[in-house]
Chain A
Amino acid sequence: DAKTTQPPSMDCAEGRAANLPCNHSTISGNEYVYWYRQIHSQGPQYIIHGLKNNETNEMASLIITEDRKSSTLILPHATLRDTAVYYCIVRVASSSGNTPLVFGKGTRLSVIA
């Protein structure tokens, strides 16, 4: 089962920041938080991931609370193209190789003009 909890849906006005929350209260010390999004009928797109520090790239920012039990993905200026299902995933970092991602149902973000 997925180890994260996300709201099923959210709306955001175009041009405003979209803040997508995720709870992962049982996260372990060697587990990363990943965010992906999926636009209808396409493969999931990697957005960002982090362990405990806040991260930023050209797509988004990831804010992880100090206790690591929750995080927020921030899209600073949402556009209509950001309408998608957003998945928050916790994944163990194994020194023996790559482990699969376990997907939940995600948050359906609708950006409104």
Chain B
Amino acid sequence: DGGITQSPKYLFRKEGQNVTLSCEQNLNHDAMYWYRQDPGQGLRLIYYSQIVNDFQKGDIAEGYSVSREKKESFPLTVTSAQKNPTAFYLCASSSGNRGNSPLHFGNGTRLTVT
């Protein structure tokens, strides 16, 4: 099936540890995105990438890092500098040949840091 895969679905880490969330897509989409969602809130943009080897900060990039070495992969690292890392993290992708292509989302990774 074509789609976006986020793994794992649930992730637990101790405070002070870096953790990397995986996002893979086989839709041949150029653009990929990372969002964060807190309980009862809408999604907030962390980082996005319109093309391989390039990415831009979103509204809440502090404490996060990304890489885009391959078209199909856009991993997100939550560093120890992120003060409130516990959240639901969502990855999305969209095709780059039109400026109005919808974003397609994965089913998220729920990160708990204690």
Q: How many residues of A contact B (CB 8 A)?
A: 28
Contact of B48 among A41, A43, A45, A100 (CB under 8 A): A100
Which candidate, A12-20, A21-29, A65-73, A91-99, is the interface stretch facing chain B? A91-99
Contact B50 A105, beta carbon cutoff 8 Å? no
B94 contacts chain A at the CB level, 8 A cutoff: yes
Residue from B48, B95, B102, B106 in contact with A46 in the complex, judged by beta carbons closer than 8 Å? B102
Q: Choose one: A2, A93, A100; the contact of B33 (CB below 8 Å).
A: A100
| Inter-subunit contact B99/A100 (CB<8 Å) | no
Say yes or no for B44: interface residue by CB 8 A criterion. Answer: yes
| Interchain CB contact under 8 A, A103 and B43 | yes
Does A98 contact B94, Cβ atoms closer than 8 Å? yes
Please report whether the interface of chain A is mostly helix, strand, loop or mixed according to DSSP: loop
- Determine whether the beta carbon of B42 is less than 8 Å from that of A106: yes
Q: How far is the CA of A28 from the CA of B92 in the complex (A)?
A: 25
When C-beta atoms are compared, the residue in chain B nearest to A49 turns out to be B102
For chain B, the count of residues having a C-beta within 8 Å of the partner chain is 32
Q: How far is the CB of A60 from chain B (nearest CB, A)?
A: 13
Name which residue of chain B comes closest to A32, CB basis. Answer: B100
Q: Chain B residues with Cβ under 8 A from A105's Cβ?
A: 41-42
Q: Give the chain A neighbours of B41 by CB distance below 8 A.
A: 105
What is the distance, in angstroms, from A46's C-beta to the closest C-beta of chain B?
Answer: 4
Q: List CB contacts (< 8 Å) of B42-100 with chain A.
A: 42-45, 48, 50-51, 58, 88, 90, 92, 94-96, 98-100
Contact residues in B for A34 (Cβ distance below 8 Å) = 102
Q: Which residues of B contact A32 (CB under 8 A)?
A: 100
Using a CB–CB cutoff of 8 Å, the interface residues on chain A facing chain B are: 2, 32, 34, 41-46, 49, 51, 87, 91-106
The 6 closest A-B pairs by CB, nearest first: A43-B105, A103-B42, A93-B99, A98-B31, A103-B43, A93-B100
